[in-house]
């Protein structure tokens, strides 16, 4: 017989199968069951806002202020009012617990985040967040040079980041394996350029990229980049390096939930250039984090105002009535519709909710687009390992749809933690938000579980049999997307207009969904409220 | 039938080369100097193949039967070669003899294969065709093996599993022939049985290769008298004649021959300088050896030992060999053992309104070789420590070798200084460790004691004085500070020890 090329290749494949098969022989043991469920922003209840009918108002109470929405903006507003001694307010929250994107969970192993999970060292412009951090003891004081001293337990522990690439973990998140000379040249050019943006100021003397966003320079030479996509900008600049483009795209997905061709170049550059915060006891680029992520901040904001918060309520109408404002809501426990008549209202909801509550046709809700995300928390009775560098706080996977995972127990000072919770983040940017959202909501728990387990085991076969629980949270509208033209466009400007006695507060108004923006918007709305109520205060902005 | 035999040429050629590569790699792992190992292994292997080929002239009939027997033998010997090499490494006087013997046996058997096969196929092909095909497939198999080995076998299966698997393939070829061939093979059933038993044995070897490897690894520690994997670490104790050694995760913690130098240096410079030290804290030190030295001071009322692993403290308070080394120190009524994470314990204790205050603290934890242990050398940890001591208390921290890891050592010193300690670093020569360093620190001043307790083997005022002098090759250097958010110490350690230990 002549052995043809095909049969030879076939033999090779058979051998390879035999080899591959061998790997799985010892792992064929029985797997203990993985428990878990789907959690998530109450999509079904929220969707009643879309033309649902509500029962007649059964009761009315009076308040000075109503805050609608208990995310960071709403909590920040409540916290600020309380501090000013203005305590006759109610905060309406859709979920049974406030927190919004800073929601978190807790089990016997650890607390863990369901959304936002860190804050970079605060910039000089982030005045209100800085004041808060000092009040909460996150900033413990200042050194001789005036640099803030952060609580060392909150500064992200070393090692910060690692990247799974070519079957092993490398240190840091910028791919550094198998780079060509051209890649290296493009890397240094790109980082030199974005670093130079950090100190740059526009013709009006303001930083070109600031946090909060609205403290950025209005120099049109820089604002014009908002109309480009980050990908277009990289093309125009000649950044063709594949690992560099992957990295930039990753950063856009990580921070904005959208790929670099869906993200404004101004926003993309903002990510690299705006984080200029410094500390006496941390390197530039540092950050603070907690096991429960920004849930730590949400809880600290909630503590002093917990009696003002009315959870499990669906606000469905905010309407001016003479000098007062009526806020109508559905009490989800009793299914009764109730009314609060207030002197003023802070609408601290995303724009698509605000538009329905206020029935304001002037604000084009469709101009705001939202990235759907899926987050999974995986409880493990064994710490993941892997070839290469040690387990880090943020563990990224190269060329994956998922961003990777964050380790909830990372900030523990324990030498050998035996259990942990991993939080997997997945921005669903593979399709248009609407389609991706529908697809995500339609998927069963079992499907989600299997998808995440497959991702986990592909990188960490050693934890097979050690997964105890896997919960999934589907964020239909996780964060506003800074699509090209959005941040410096008309829709955001229009939405920002404050119309007393109704004030707006939400990071949607910034176009960038980060803690500093949301909290600053909350404080701003609270201070406007104080001014409107003629209560003296010293501004924190 | 002829085509089957040709296919088996590829398999046996792959197997043959894989055994050669396994032997070369295992020899490089165990003996070092990969150039020498690979050259000599390849040379002797090829030479043995030559012998094998030459031997085939003595085989006159029943060629197929011989071929099948050779296949089973190659499978058995080659399949077990890696694990045998690893297991015998520590137990034989001349490992090289074993190595070249195994290489020789496999070489001879592999050398028999091709000439025999040529003769088996002689009547089925024209000679021109036959030689060209058999040799072409032989070389093709060699290419396949040489690509497969570094890319798939070593990274995914490891040497031991690979060798078992290729042994299985060799035997598989034999079984295949036994069942497929209708020609006359003597004692067919015996052959079948032997082949299947061998295959089963190799399969078991493959499945349990990790267990076998653990046994082999234990051999590397010479005479293991105790081995236990706890959730926190792997504890191994070895004994050769008079020398008792403790290994944690493969790293030597002490050798009974010279540990007195280490523990006298750790304990007495501070204890002898203190006036009536009463409350003592030991962090780590679950072997009870530092405690043995501490208990030599009658003024001591109470010792708190915080060691993470209960298995350690239990072992060193029960095992007779070990309790005779630490003088039953762990059974002392003055001792309280707390099996908790020291950092977590310290943080909890210092938060209590009424917390203990210690006159002397000894931090005797493993070197900062990873980010987990590195936390125990951080500003945060040392800062916490300040809240459980007085201005007169003295803290002593074992701080790796100032000679091999100069920056690492001074980084510990500088980190303690940065949180407000005055430091008094010193070093001592411990033969099994090399030149070893400690950082002693206090919030107040330290005066060297003018006398030490009786019965010390190493320390007296003269030898103590020498310890505090650092020659130029170990003298103080500027370093970064070890912080939780930036563990410079771990990176220094990795770099400095990495350069020193040439694998």
Q: Which of A515, A524, A127 is nearest to A300 (CA)?
A: A515
Q: What are phi and psi of A320, to 5 degrees?
A: -70, 140
Q: Which residue has the tokens 């070897």?
A: B205
What pLDDT, in 10s, does the model give residues B220-263? Answer: 545 777 878 888 888 888 877 678 899 888 888 999 999 999 99
Rounded to whole angstroms, the Cα distance separating A104 from A112 reads 6
Using only C-alpha atoms, chain A has a radius of gyration, in whole angstroms, of 25
For A353-412, give the secondary structure using H, E and C: HHHHHHCCCCCCHHHCCEEEEEEEEEEECCCCCCCECCCCCEEEECCCCCCEEEEHHHHC
Chain B residues touching residue A18 (CB < 8 angstroms): 165, 169
Q: Which residues of B390-403 are buried (b: 16+ CB within 10 A; e: fewer)?
A: eebbbbbbbbbbbb
DSSP H helices, B307-390, are: 310-318, 320-325, 342-351, 371-374, 379-386
CB contact under 8 A, A22 and B165: yes
H or E element that contains B305: strand B302-306
CB contact under 8 A, A283 and B374: no
Where in the sequence is the domain holding A327, given as residue range(s)? 65-105+308-363+484-532
In a domain, A172, yes or no: no
Rounded to whole angstroms, the Cα distance separating B449 from A494 reads 78
In a domain, A345, yes or no: yes
Mean pLDDT (chain B, rounded): 89
Q: What are phi and psi of B378, to 5 degrees?
A: -90, 160
Rounded to whole angstroms, the Cα distance separating B15 from B38 reads 17
Catalytic choice (B279, B359, B364, B367) = B364
Looking at residue A480, its pLDDT comes to 95
CB contact under 8 A, B161 and A22: yes
Beta bridge partner(s), residue A61: A340
Rounded to whole angstroms, the Cα distance separating B7 from B177 reads 11
CB contact under 8 A, A415 and B156: no
Rounded to whole angstroms, the Cα distance separating A122 from A275 reads 8
Q: Which residue has the tokens 């060329």?
A: A399
In a domain, A322, yes or no: yes
In terms of Cβ atoms closer than 10 Å to its own Cβ (0-12, 13-18, 19+), residue A194 is: middle
Q: What are phi and psi of A350, to 5 degrees?
A: -60, 160
DSSP H helices, A136-241, are: 181-198, 220-223, 230-237
In sequence order, what are the residues at sequence separation of 6 or more whose Cβ sits closer than 8 angstroms to the Cβ of residue B127? Answer: none
In a domain, A78, yes or no: yes
C-alpha dist (Å) from residue B324 to B285, B292, B355: 16, 11, 34
Q: For B371, which of A167, A286, A390 is closest by C-beta distance?
A: A390
Maximum alpha-carbon separation in chain A: 99
Per-residue pLDDT of chain A (541 residues; tens, 9 = 90+): 333 333 333 344 444 444 333 333 334 345 568 999 998 766 777 778 877 788 999 999 999 999 999 999 999 999 999 999 999 999 999 999 999 999 999 999 999 999 999 999 999 999 999 999 999 999 999 999 999 999 999 999 999 999 999 889 999 999 998 899 999 999 999 999 999 999 899 999 999 999 999 999 999 999 999 999 999 999 999 999 999 999 999 999 999 999 999 999 999 999 999 999 999 999 999 999 999 999 999 999 999 999 999 999 999 999 999 999 999 999 988 999 999 999 999 999 999 999 999 987 777 767 899 999 999 999 999 999 888 999 999 999 998 999 999 999 999 988 888 899 999 999 999 999 999 999 999 999 999 999 999 999 999 999 999 999 999 999 999 999 999 999 999 999 999 999 999 999 999 999 999 999 999 999 999 999 999 999 999 999 9
C-alpha dist (Å) from residue A463 to A88, A390, A483: 51, 15, 39
CB contact under 8 A, B375 and A159: no
Q: Which residues of A362-382 are buried (b: 16+ CB within 10 A; e: fewer)?
A: ebebebbbbbbbbbbbbbbeb
In a domain, A392, yes or no: no
Domains of chain B (ranges; CATH) run: 2-220 (1.20.1250), 258-500 (3.40.50.150)
Q: For B2, which of A1, A167, A412 is closest by C-beta distance?
A: A1
Say how many CA atoms lie within 13 Å of A377 toward its Cβ. 28
Q: Which residue has the tokens 């806002």?
A: A49
* Nearest chain A CA: its distance from B2 CA (Å): 7
CB contact under 8 A, A157 and B371: yes
What pLDDT, in 10s, does the model give residues B339-369? Answer: 999 999 999 998 888 889 999 999 999 999 8
Q: Is B486 a catalytic residue?
A: no
What pLDDT, in 10s, does the model give residues A288-343? Answer: 999 999 999 999 999 999 999 999 999 999 999 999 999 999 998 899 999 999 99
* Chain A residues within 8 Å of chain B (Cβ atoms): 1, 3, 8, 11-12, 15-16, 18-19, 22-23, 25-26, 152-153, 155-160, 167, 281-283, 286, 390, 412-416, 418
In a domain, A338, yes or no: yes
Instruction: Provide the number of CB pairs (under 8 Å) joining chain A to chain B.
Output: 98
Q: And the tokens for B288?
A: 């009870």
C-alpha dist (Å) from residue A294 to A102, A119, A417, A524, B76: 5, 8, 22, 20, 60
Let me know: does A476 contact A373? Beta carbons within 8 Å. Answer: no
Chain A residues touching residue B484 (CB < 8 angstroms): 152-153, 155, 157-158, 413
Rounded to whole angstroms, the Cα distance separating B153 from B361 reads 50
Q: And the tokens for A50?
A: 């879309």
Q: For B207, which of A26, A152, A414 is closest by C-beta distance?
A: A26
Looking at residue B126, its pLDDT comes to 85
Let me know: does A511 contact A480? Beta carbons within 8 Å. Answer: yes
Beta bridge partner(s), residue A420: A380
C-alpha dist (Å) from residue A426 to A115, A175, A400, A442, B17: 11, 20, 10, 16, 46
Let me know: does A100 contact A479? Beta carbons within 8 Å. Answer: no
Let me know: does B198 contact B204? Beta carbons within 8 Å. Answer: no
Looking at residue B497, its pLDDT comes to 87
Let me know: does A388 contact A170? Beta carbons within 8 Å. Answer: yes
Candidates B484, B489, B492, partner chain A, best to mutate (most A CBs within 10 A): B484
H or E element that contains A38: strand A38-39
- The number of domains in chain A is 1
By DSSP bridging, strand A324-331 and strand A467-480 are: unpaired
CATH code of A74's domain: 3.50.50.60
């Amino acid at each position: 017989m002549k052995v043809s090329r095909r049969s030879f290749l076939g033999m090779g494949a058979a051998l390879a199968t035999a080899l591959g098969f061998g790997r799985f022989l010892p792992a064929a043991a029985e797997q203990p069951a993985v428990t878990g469920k789907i959690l998530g922003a109450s999509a079904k209840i929220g969707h009643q806002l879309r033309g649902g009918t509500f029962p007649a108002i059964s009761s009315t109470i009076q308040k000075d202020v109503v805050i609608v929405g208990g995310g960071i903006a709403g909590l920040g507003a409540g916290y600020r009012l309380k501090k000013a001694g203005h305590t006759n307010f109610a905060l309406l929250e859709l979920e049974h617990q406030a927190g919004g994107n800073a929601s978190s969970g807790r089990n016997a192993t650890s607390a863990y985040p369901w959304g936002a999970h860190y804050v970079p060292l605060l910039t000089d412009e982030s005045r209100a967040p800085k004041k808060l951090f000092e009040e909460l003891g996150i900033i413990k004081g200042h050194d001789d040079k005036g640099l803030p001293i952060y609580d060392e337990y909150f500064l992200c522990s070393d090692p910060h980041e690692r990247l799974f690439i070519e079957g092993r973990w490398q240190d840091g998140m910028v791919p550094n394996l198998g780079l060509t000379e051209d890649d290296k040249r493009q890397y240094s050019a790109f980082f030199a350029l974005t670093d130079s943006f950090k100190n740059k100021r526009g013709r009006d003397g303001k930083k070109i990229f600031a946090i909060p966003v609205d403290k950025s320079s209005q120099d049109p030479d820089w604002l014009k980049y908002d109309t480009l996509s980050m990908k277009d900008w990289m093309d125009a600049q000649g950044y063709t390096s594949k690992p560099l483009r992957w990295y930039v795209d990753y950063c856009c997905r990580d921070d904005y939930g959208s790929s670099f061709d869906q993200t404004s170049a101004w926003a993309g550059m903002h990510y690299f250039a705006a984080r200029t915060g410094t500390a006496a006891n941390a390197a530039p680029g540092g950050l603070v984090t907690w096991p429960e992520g920004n849930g730590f901040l949400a809880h600290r904001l909630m503590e002093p105002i917990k009696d003002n918060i009315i959870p499990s309520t669906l606000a469905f109408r905010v309407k001016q009535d003479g000098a007062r404002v009526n806020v109508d809501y559905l009490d989800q426990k009793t299914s009764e519709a109730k009314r609060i008549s207030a002197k003023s209202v802070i609408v601290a909801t995303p724009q698509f909710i605000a538009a329905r509550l206020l029935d304001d046709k002037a604000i084009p809700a469709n101009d705001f687009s939202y990235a759907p995300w899926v987050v999974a928390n995986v409880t493990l009775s064994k710490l993941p390992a892997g070839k290469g560098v040690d387990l880090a706080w943020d563990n990224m996977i190269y060329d994956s749809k998922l961003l990777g995972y964050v380790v909830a127990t990372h900030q523990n000072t324990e030498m050998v933690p035996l259990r942990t919770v991993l939080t997997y983040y997945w921005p669903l940017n593979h399709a248009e938000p609407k389609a991706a959202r529908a697809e995500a909501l339609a998927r069963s728990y079992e499907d989600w579980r299997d998808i995440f387990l497959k991702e986990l085991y592909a990188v960490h076969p050693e934890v097979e049999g050690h997964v105890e629980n896997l919960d999934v949270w589907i964020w239909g509208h996780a964060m506003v997307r800074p699509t090209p033209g959005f941040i410096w466009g008309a829709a955001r400007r229009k939405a920002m207009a404050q119309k007393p006695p109704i004030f707006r507060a939400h990071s949607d108004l910034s176009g960038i969904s980060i803690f500093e923006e949301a909290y600053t918007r909350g404080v701003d709305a609270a201070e406007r409220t104080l001014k409107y109520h003629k209560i003296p205060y010293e501004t924190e902005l | 039938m002829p085509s089957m035999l040709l296919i088996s040429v590829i398999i046996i050629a792959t197997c043959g080369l894989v055994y050669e590569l396994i032997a070369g790699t295992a020899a490089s792992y165990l003996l070092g100097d990969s150039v020498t190992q690979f050259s000599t292994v390849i040379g002797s292997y090829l030479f043995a193949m030559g012998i094998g080929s030459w031997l085939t002239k003595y085989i006159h009939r029943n060629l197929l039967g011989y071929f099948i027997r050779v296949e089973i033998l190659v499978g058995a010997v080659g399949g077990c070669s890696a694990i045998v090499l690893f297991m015998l490494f520590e137990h034989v006087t001349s490992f090289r003899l074993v190595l070249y013997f195994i290489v020789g046996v496999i070489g001879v058997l592999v050398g028999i294969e091709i000439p025999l096969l040529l003769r088996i196929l002689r009547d089925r092909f024209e000679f021109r065709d036959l030689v060209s095909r058999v040799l072409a497939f032989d070389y093709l198999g060699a290419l396949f093996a040489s690509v497969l080995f570094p890319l798939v076998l070593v990274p995914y299966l490891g040497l031991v599993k690979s060798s078992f698997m290729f042994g299985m393939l060799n035997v598989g070829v034999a079984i295949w022939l036994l069942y497929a061939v209708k020609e006359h093979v003597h004692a067919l059933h015996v052959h079948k049985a032997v082949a299947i038993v061998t295959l089963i044995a190799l399969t078991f070897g493959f499945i349990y290769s990790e267990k076998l490897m653990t046994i082999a690894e234990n051999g590397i520690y010479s005479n293991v008298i105790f081995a236990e994997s706890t959730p926190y670490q792997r504890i191994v104790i070895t004994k050769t004649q008079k020398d008792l050694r403790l290994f944690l995760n493969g790293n030597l913690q002490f050798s009974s021959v010279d540990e007195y130098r280490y523990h006298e240096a750790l304990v007495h410079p501070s204890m002898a300088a203190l006036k009536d030290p009463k409350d003592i804290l030991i962090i780590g030190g679950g072997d009870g050896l530092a405690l043995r030295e501490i208990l030599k001071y009658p003024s001591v009322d109470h010792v708190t030992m915080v060691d993470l692993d209960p298995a350690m403290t239990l072992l060193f308070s029960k095992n007779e060999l070990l309790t005779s080394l630490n003088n039953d120190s762990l059974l002392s009524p003055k001792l309280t053992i707390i099996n908790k994470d020291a950092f977590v314990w310290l943080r909890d204790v210092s938060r209590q309104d009424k917390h203990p205050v210690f006159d002397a603290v000894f931090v005797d934890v493993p070197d900062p070789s990873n980010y987990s242990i590195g936390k125990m050398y951080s500003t945060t940890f040392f800062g916490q420590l300040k809240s459980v001591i007085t201005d007169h208390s003295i803290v002593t921290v074992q701080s790796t070798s100032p000679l091999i890891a100069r920056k690492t050592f001074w980084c510990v010193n500088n980190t303690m200084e940065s949180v407000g300690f005055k430091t008094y670093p010193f070093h001592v020569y411990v033969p099994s460790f090399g030149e070893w360093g400690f950082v002693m620190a206090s919030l107040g001043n330290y005066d060297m004691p003018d006398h030490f307790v009786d019965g010390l083997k190493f320390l007296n005022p003269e030898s103590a004085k020498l310890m505090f002098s650092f020659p130029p090759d170990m003298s103080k250097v500027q370093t970064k500070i070890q912080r939780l958010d930036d563990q410079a110490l771990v990176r220094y350690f990795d770099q400095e020890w990495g350069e020193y230990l040439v694998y």
